[in-house]
Chains A and B, each alone.
Chain A
């Protein structure tokens, strides 16, 4: 089993753990933490998707001529994507935390069960 598969498996495991957290924890901060775990899992999956066995980092330097790069480096695109995804994830998490603050301000609780609901 190569490191790519392990990373992929770990990524999915993290997603599942995070999902479990989102669905079972009732404290809003814990839900946000669980969401971050899911996010991390996805990032891991993305990086694993770009990994190729026994290849090196996609940085063209003295030891790696640009002409040889296609056969020696891993696919750089997923790594670029994961950077964007991490940035978006950061923004989302920050906004969620801001919501948590305001929910506490408005409802005096962080238990998702106890905040005022709209229904039907």
Chain B
């Protein structure tokens, strides 16, 4: 069957159609139709071969021209890589052809003929096995590229087209000389014959191969000799750039891959070095870029740099190289095409102009898909490719540790500019921007590309070992919810809750008995149900909310279920995507959502690096158990993993994203983000600490640092919380402080410490859940989170008041509620482990917690009721239901703390056998003393009752003061909030310790950003815009690389 699709038809169809078109040059409808038929035929051929290879029935097809076998004739080869690459080229060729229908019809049949020849040339470059033939098709591709530019008639494209022509002319001179010398040395032009000939490894042959390699490298536009190529991206129509970036780059890349074996891989280090430099430099330069096309150009070149690294490290990557390269290439080709198509529809070329996409949500979704795919998020092929790449670079006999770190650093920078841009599109005003040029016919190309990308993602995930397909089920469910996004929120809410509940029912039997997993599964998934329950308050559609919330929960669930570190990392990344979209929903959340995502990505790369060292130590095994007893640089590996997880617990130093991101989030999202999401970091820390243990010598220092990070987070988080004006920000800072306790407890690596950590994990979930729902609900109700605009709400919102009161009593750790048991164990830990310095700070932090809690309840609920709030009602019932559910749990746990702490203690005895608390009923005994939750409750309730009776008896002597029984001294202040007592509430404390809350850390990160941007601005000055300078760059590049590389032969 496949024999019908002889690869020679690529050339036949291309040339025949091109000649035919010139006959119909005045019938542009017919000629356009012929062009599309020819392009479709090319795609059909490549798809037929690709399908047969994927089905396992394919055979490598060799086509000989002129009736001779090679080396006496030119031959085409269609094997698996050729099938895949020609499929990519033909697909993008066809899509761009459809996209450009209007322009191509207008410019006429000649342009269409040139276009077909362009696509044909790219395909033939991939298929041919003859060096000179490769040169011919390379020339055809570059002439056709500038030919289309020439016909497009815009001024900048004519100017850049000329430079492009001279530049590619110079490169082909280098290539031609190389080819002739190769022929002189080996007497053949056939790539396969040359690869077998040892002559090519000799001195003369080697120089020939160097010239050929250099020519193809230059065609791939390496930094810094690439100004001519970047200008092309900037000035060409978007769809043409898509074809050049996706098709031309793929073809040239594969051509390079074909000629490297000719020199017996003697230039692989050159290719890797050129790629690495290009990757990093392009990403840095792109940081300062404001023109969207140019930015895409830099990003394209950067991606090719990464692919060159993969090619250069063929030996280290072994048989996974093709998988990695294919994963990166497919993702790059499809997502870059999508972005270039969109760039064509957006009329304002600046990055901010992309906010116009909000008028067409489908384009915004496509933009998001492309951005996340490029950075290598799940479920896209690049996720698996990047994972493999890092693991193999670090896992070989000689680890390329610095290189893998650089790859991750480059990706992080890429994430910075892509997501900054994406958040512009999501959040910036778009009213004044020009209309989108996006008729439905133009949507075909990007939508098809996205669908193919989705299909490829699914297929690639089936090829990965250590990754269970069951993780795709939640993704499918999320897609389903995304499809019905047009329905009202309540219906999606019901479906989501049903989905999560089903999942819990399915999960429970699998984890029953494993208490540690149960605790976190409970926080993540029961939390999911509770937050979704509060979502019923929303009237309307709530576009995009449910897919993203479910993505986050699917990620969290994957953490629980992961059997391999790959699956864990999958869950971690999935969670990051979902939570980012949730956090950026707030009104002023653009910068905060971005900084959250960047810290997330930085953290996850840190984790990935640690994981890769773990896998390297385990000989490539990626089961979760490979984290235990890492043998390759264990101190670094564990530190990096811990650092990564600390970004999610928002510990001091990497906390700066949290106050803004959480402070701007809507009530139920705030609950998800703070009470639930932060616990993912705790879960990660626990996973790593369990694997690390505390026996090895280096662990002492790691744990000491971790302990102090926890302590300082508690102290500084609490101090900063006390100085906030916004109640939501106050709670956000308070989360940093609370998580600090947990980190500190874990770092002690002791029974009591972990009891604190796990106890806090549960109780923090409970009381923070109440506080976020209550405060968030109030802020939503009255339209402001500022405490000086609240006051006296106790009368209007008594249910909220009561819930908040209980929550803050629990949080502050005073008797009788469950928080006290945590405090009591804390004191036990400080004394028994002799943590006096850290303990002292923890005590101070605990006292400061009173300050902000007092401020919150006092300024929100007590004091004077504002005029505008006189008729405000209670917060939504859908907030109160989960609040009171949580409240009931708090009261039960307070009365019977042993129901929570005893099973945890029993479980911990398996890990830390020392000094457990002995429980008899509700009474717990340690070596230092005892504690009885029920007894304390009785005593406190008793005192409360006595005081109440006294109060009632003495009531007659009190005088009730009406709200307006005061006087104003005849002045009306200009800024009323300044004179409000709850504004700058703790001014006196601020004088004393405010310096500690100064944004020192924020300043540090700002400075880092500034420096990197300055470097970016400095480097990009080499692109002067003068064509001759660019030509000089090329000549200089050839000379320098030639000298460096051939120096080795002496």
Chain A interface (Cβ within 8 Å of chain B)?
15, 19, 22-23, 26, 28, 31, 35, 38-39, 42, 45-46, 49, 77-78, 81, 84-85, 88, 91-92, 95-96, 98-100, 102-103, 106-107, 112-113, 115-120
- In B774-826, the 8 Å CB interface with A consists of none
Q: Are the CB atoms of B165 and A95 closer together than 8 Å?
A: yes
Query: Which of B274-282, B420-428, B436-444, B1023-1031 lies at the binding interface?
Result: B1023-1031
Q: Are the CB atoms of B155 and A107 closer together than 8 Å?
A: yes
Q: Are the CB atoms of B1035 and A38 closer together than 8 Å?
A: no
* Other contacts beyond A46-B176, A118-B160, A119-B1025: 8, CB < 8 A: A23-B1028, A39-B169, A39-B173, A45-B177, A77-B189, A96-B162, A99-B150, A120-B1020
Q: Are the CB atoms of B139 and A88 closer together than 8 Å?
A: yes
Minimum CB–CB distance for A110 against chain B, Å? 10
- Output the nearest chain B residue to A92 by Cβ-Cβ distance: B169
Q: Are the CB atoms of A42 and B150 closer together than 8 Å?
A: no
> What is the predominant secondary structure among interface residues of chain A facing chain B?
helix
Minimum CB–CB distance for A49 against chain B, Å? 5
Minimum CB–CB distance for B726 against chain A, Å? 40
Q: Are the CB atoms of B169 and A35 closer together than 8 Å?
A: yes
CA distance A49 to B179 in the complex (A): 11
Q: Are the CB atoms of A107 and B159 closer together than 8 Å?
A: yes
Minimum CB–CB distance for B173 against chain A, Å? 5
Instruction: Identify 10 residue pairs between A and B in the complex whose beta-carbon atoms are under 8 Å apart, listed by A's number.
Output: A19-B1035, A31-B166, A49-B183, A77-B183, A100-B162, A106-B159, A107-B159, A112-B1027, A113-B1028, A119-B1023
Q: Are the CB atoms of A118 and B231 closer together than 8 Å?
A: yes
Minimum CB–CB distance for A8 against chain B, Å? 10
Q: Are the CB atoms of B1024 and A117 closer together than 8 Å?
A: yes
Q: Are the CB atoms of A118 and B234 closer together than 8 Å?
A: yes
Minimum CB–CB distance for A92 against chain B, Å? 6
B1027: which A residues are within 8 A, CB to CB? 112, 115
- Output the nearest chain B residue to A80 by Cβ-Cβ distance: B132
B294: which A residues are within 8 A, CB to CB? 118, 120
- Output the nearest chain B residue to A94 by Cβ-Cβ distance: B143
B136 within 8 A of A: yes
Task: Tell whether A23 pairs with B1031 under 8 Å between CB atoms, given A31-B166, A99-B150.
Answer: yes
Q: Are the CB atoms of A119 and B1024 closer together than 8 Å?
A: yes
Interface bits B287-311 vs A (CB < 8 Å: 1, else 0):
0110000100000000000000000
A99: which B residues are within 8 A, CB to CB? 146, 150, 158, 161-162, 165
CA distance A49 to B1028 in the complex (A): 31
CA distance A118 to B229 in the complex (A): 12
Q: Are the CB atoms of A42 and B177 closer together than 8 Å?
A: yes
CA distance A53 to B231 in the complex (A): 47
Q: Are the CB atoms of A96 and B165 closer together than 8 Å?
A: yes
B181 within 8 A of A: yes
CA distance A70 to B312 in the complex (A): 40
- Output the nearest chain B residue to A93 by Cβ-Cβ distance: B169
Minimum CB–CB distance for B1025 against chain A, Å? 3
CA distance A92 to B176 in the complex (A): 15
Q: Are the CB atoms of B235 and A118 closer together than 8 Å?
A: yes
Minimum CB–CB distance for A77 against chain B, Å? 7
- Output the nearest chain A residue to B285 by Cβ-Cβ distance: A120
Interface residues contributed by chain B, number (CB under 8 Å): 45
Minimum CB–CB distance for B1003 against chain A, Å? 29
Q: Are the CB atoms of B166 and A35 closer together than 8 Å?
A: yes
Task: Tell whether A116 pairs with B1032 under 8 Å between CB atoms, given A49-B180, A102-B150.
Answer: no
A28: which B residues are within 8 A, CB to CB? 162
Q: Are the CB atoms of B1028 and A26 closer together than 8 Å?
A: yes
CA distance A120 to B184 in the complex (A): 42
CA distance A22 to B41 in the complex (A): 42
- Output the nearest chain B residue to A19 by Cβ-Cβ distance: B1035
CA distance A24 to B248 in the complex (A): 31
Minimum CB–CB distance for B1027 against chain A, Å? 6
A81: which B residues are within 8 A, CB to CB? 132, 179-180
Q: Are the CB atoms of B136 and A84 closer together than 8 Å?
A: yes
Q: Are the CB atoms of A117 and B1026 closer together than 8 Å?
A: yes
Minimum CB–CB distance for B686 against chain A, Å? 48
CA distance A107 to B1026 in the complex (A): 15
Task: Tell whether A118 pairs with B1025 under 8 Å between CB atoms, given A92-B169, A96-B166.
Answer: yes
A116: which B residues are within 8 A, CB to CB? 155-156, 159
Q: Are the CB atoms of A95 and B146 closer together than 8 Å?
A: yes
Minimum CB–CB distance for B772 against chain A, Å? 46
- In B708-731, the 8 Å CB interface with A consists of none
CA distance A115 to B139 in the complex (A): 26
Q: Are the CB atoms of B1024 and A42 closer together than 8 Å?
A: no
Contact among B139, B1020, B1025, B1031 with A117 in the assembled complex (CB-CB below 8 Å):
B1025
CA distance A19 to B235 in the complex (A): 27
- In B165-187, the 8 Å CB interface with A consists of 165-166, 169-170, 173, 176-177, 179-181, 183-184
B1021: which A residues are within 8 A, CB to CB? 120
B169: which A residues are within 8 A, CB to CB? 35, 38-39, 92, 96
A19: which B residues are within 8 A, CB to CB? 170, 1035
Task: Tell whether A118 pairs with B156 under 8 Å between CB atoms, given A23-B1035, A91-B143, A99-B150.
Answer: yes
Q: Are the CB atoms of A92 and B143 closer together than 8 Å?
A: yes
CA distance A113 to B1026 in the complex (A): 7
Q: Are the CB atoms of A23 and B1032 closer together than 8 Å?
A: yes
- Output the nearest chain B residue to A88 by Cβ-Cβ distance: B139
- Output the nearest chain A residue to B1022 by Cβ-Cβ distance: A120
A38: which B residues are within 8 A, CB to CB? 169-170, 173
Which of B184, B189, B1021 gathers the greatest number of chain A CB atoms within 10 Å?
B184
Q: Are the CB atoms of B165 and A42 closer together than 8 Å?
A: no
A85: which B residues are within 8 A, CB to CB? 176
Contact among A77, A95, A103 with B159 in the assembled complex (CB-CB below 8 Å):
A103
Which of B139, B150, B170, B180 gathers the greatest number of chain A CB atoms within 10 Å?
B180
CA distance A96 to B1024 in the complex (A): 22
Q: Are the CB atoms of A88 and B156 closer together than 8 Å?
A: no
Minimum CB–CB distance for B190 against chain A, Å? 12
CA distance A84 to B150 in the complex (A): 24
A31: which B residues are within 8 A, CB to CB? 166, 1028
CA distance A28 to B1027 in the complex (A): 11
B147 within 8 A of A: yes
Interface bits B1010-1050 vs A (CB < 8 Å: 1, else 0):
00000000001101111110011001000000000000000
Minimum CB–CB distance for A91 against chain B, Å? 6
Contact among B150, B180, B289, B1026 with A78 in the assembled complex (CB-CB below 8 Å):
B180
Q: Are the CB atoms of A88 and B136 closer together than 8 Å?
A: yes
A113: which B residues are within 8 A, CB to CB? 1026, 1028
Task: Tell whether A49 pairs with B181 under 8 Å between CB atoms, given A84-B132, A120-B1020.
Answer: yes
CA distance A115 to B1025 in the complex (A): 10
CA distance A5 to B173 in the complex (A): 19
Minimum CB–CB distance for A20 against chain B, Å? 10
CA distance A49 to B231 in the complex (A): 36
Task: Tell whether A46 pairs with B180 under 8 Å between CB atoms, given A23-B1031, A112-B1028, A120-B1020.
Answer: yes
A95: which B residues are within 8 A, CB to CB? 143, 146-147, 150, 165
CA distance A22 to B167 in the complex (A): 10
Minimum CB–CB distance for A114 against chain B, Å? 10
CA distance A102 to B183 in the complex (A): 39
Minimum CB–CB distance for A47 against chain B, Å? 9
- Output the nearest chain B residue to A99 by Cβ-Cβ distance: B162
CA distance A67 to B232 in the complex (A): 53
The 6 tightest CB contacts between A and B, nearest first, are A117-B1025, A119-B1025, A99-B162, A106-B155, A49-B180, A120-B1020
A23: which B residues are within 8 A, CB to CB? 1028, 1031-1032, 1035
CA distance A81 to B184 in the complex (A): 13
Minimum CB–CB distance for A24 against chain B, Å? 9
A22: which B residues are within 8 A, CB to CB? 166, 170, 1028, 1031
CA distance A35 to B171 in the complex (A): 12
A15: which B residues are within 8 A, CB to CB? 173
Interface bits B746-789 vs A (CB < 8 Å: 1, else 0):
00000000000000000000000000000000000000000000
B1032: which A residues are within 8 A, CB to CB? 23
Q: Are the CB atoms of B176 and A102 closer together than 8 Å?
A: no
